[in-house]
Amino acid sequence: MKTLRDTWLIFERSMWLTLRNPVWIIVGLIQPILYLTLFGPLLKSIAESTPGFPPGGAFNVFVPGLLIQISLFGAAFVGFGLISEMRSGVVERMRVTPLSRFAMLFGRALRDVVILDVQGLLLVVIALPFGLKIDPAGLTVALALLSLIGLTVAPVSYAFALLLKSEDALGPLLITMSLPLLLLSGILLPLSLAPDWLQTLGKINPFSHAVDAIRALFNGHFGDPSVGFGVVLMAILAILALSWASRAFGRSAA
Amino acid sequence: MATERPLGTMIRTRGLRKTFGKRNAQVEAVKGVDLDVRGGEIFGFLGPNGAGKTTTLRMLATLIPPTAGEATVAGIDLLRQPAQVRQQIGYVAQGGGSDPLMTGRGELVIQARLFGMSRKSAEQRANEVLEMLELSDAAGRTTGTYSGGMRRRLDIGLGIVHRPKLLFLDEPTTGLDPQARANLWDEVRKLRDAGTTVFLTTHYLEEADALCDRLAIIDHGSIVAEGTPIELKRAIAGDVVTLGIGEHPRALALLRAEPYVREANDADADGLLRLYVDDGDRALPQLLRLLDAAGISPQTIALSRPSLDDVFLRQTGRSLRESAA
């Protein structure tokens, strides 16, 4: 009960601070929108003429990748906000209260998930006129999967922020981690077009399974094995990330 | 406001120790500190930067675990039940702890709610604290727009919004101008008068002297002296009375016979005779009467008191003014 209440308090405060400057939610969408509008159309003819291109049309293949992009380049950078909260002393102040350590993390991560889902939904709506055809039930499950991705990526970013305590160290680390994860998810072009060795690397990357799952969900293929696998995999990763980061919150002498 | 003074011991530590670093490069920041802070007093921890003040305070405030030793804070075992200790204490870090984008009221309300208050009573209490700290007019502004003194007052407010028994203040007036400092001292005294025990660190001699009921002087991780500011200074050599009287064996003999005169030195080259007395305020009129009755009239008479810096100098061989600079 107390943990729930604490989580709500931290969520409320973080969300309030985010909404003071809602323009950042839109700024985070600028990149994927540019990809959608300026790169997406190129895929159309490729999708039709290339053997091995996944089914469902170019945008049904491309938009799920963009959702991974906003999580890897959006939620992954929430640690920067935490560093400035550490610098202003807010984190330390709250560590000398009865506030649950898990709530310190989870309240913030839930805020990040809500922002991520809102961005994801906006992106999907913007993609509809380009030819994205979507199964509504599939979209709902896809957003739930996106939430799990957020619950994996945001805590990892927070844990690194607590360990490194400096933007200068956090930035390069996050970029170095995000970019290969992003490319190995096959977001620009599907990995089904890749040579074997690259496909193997892709299979090791959990986010590529999340992309496969979201693609299947957009097409309404709930029974596709990639859906169950993607959801279970991301749920396990979310639990691991949350428990690691919440321990970092407990330990750090922020 | 009720002036209830909680009796008993608010902080008790024995052999409290903190070592930082790995085995090959260890730094002993705190080397076995024994403290007894009484309920209802302002207790000061005086020492130069790097003496171990903040480390000790952070251990007592549950932020870092001690390497060794034991401690009871607000009657609770610090090592076994840090979560319960947090319920009872307020903590104000040296750098403060408010978000520059939050309003003063917003921060106070959330802080109160973090301690379990309902939204309604948190809002009530926030208004009370804002009024007490004369921040009501700025309550709706973001703390980023506050002056240094206002932000410090808000920090104190965040430390007391849940009415803790014990408040920790780390270097509370560092960086404040003299007026803001005096203002903050008044707030701290008000808290003490309302029954809160205050434990603060400082490297300002004047602050330790003027604000603290009792203090411990720490240097290189160890406590070198402890007592009220007056006791500490008196323990040095008492007050110093300087008489402009020249060579005067008769006067010297008379003065040495007095019980409150600890020591009387022969006149120096300038004809000044130095007496070390227990309590200068009381000794001065008695001295004058004594000399007058004996028909001796000194040209000049001056009373000076040893400062806390003299105490520090005596204990460590260095001046705190110099080490702090």
Question: Does A92 lie at the interface with B, CB-CB under 8 angstroms?
Answer: yes
Distance from CA of B83 to the nearest CA of A (A): 6
Residue type present at position A104: M
**Cα distance between residue B44 and residue A110, in whole Å:** 42
Hey, are the CB atoms on A88 and B99 less than 8 Å from each other?
yes
**Cα distance between residue A193 and residue A80, in whole Å:** 36
Helix (H) or strand (E) holding A181: helix A167-183
Torsion A33-A37-A38-A41 (CA) sign: positive
pTM: 0.84
Residues of chain A with pLDDT under 50: 253-254
Return the half-sphere exposure (C-beta side, CA atoms, 13 A cut-off) of residue B192. Answer: 22
Residues of chain B with pLDDT under 50: 1-5, 325
Chain A residues lying within 8 Å of B116, measured CB to CB? 98
What pLDDT is recorded for position A1? 83
Torsion B152-B158-B163-B169 (CA) sign: negative
State the alpha helices, DSSP H only, in chain B.
Answer: 53-60, 82-88, 104-114, 119-132, 148-160, 178-193, 205-211, 229-237, 249-256, 280-293, 308-316, 320-324
The interface residues of chain B toward chain A in range 64-103, judged by CB-CB distance below 8 A, are: 64, 83, 86-87, 89-91, 93, 95-102
Distance from CA of B114 to the nearest CA of A (A): 6
Chain B residues lying within 8 Å of A88, measured CB to CB? 95-100
What pLDDT is recorded for position B65? 92
What pLDDT is recorded for position B2? 44
What pLDDT is recorded for position A244? 95
Tell me which residue has tokens 């009024």.
B131
What pLDDT is recorded for position A254? 38
Which one of B83, B89, B93 has the shortest CB-CB distance to A92?
B93
pLDDT tens digits, one per residue of B211-262 = 999 999 999 999 999 999 988 887 766 787 888 888 888 888 888 888 888 8
What pLDDT is recorded for position B237? 61
**Cα distance between residue B154 and residue B266, in whole Å:** 56
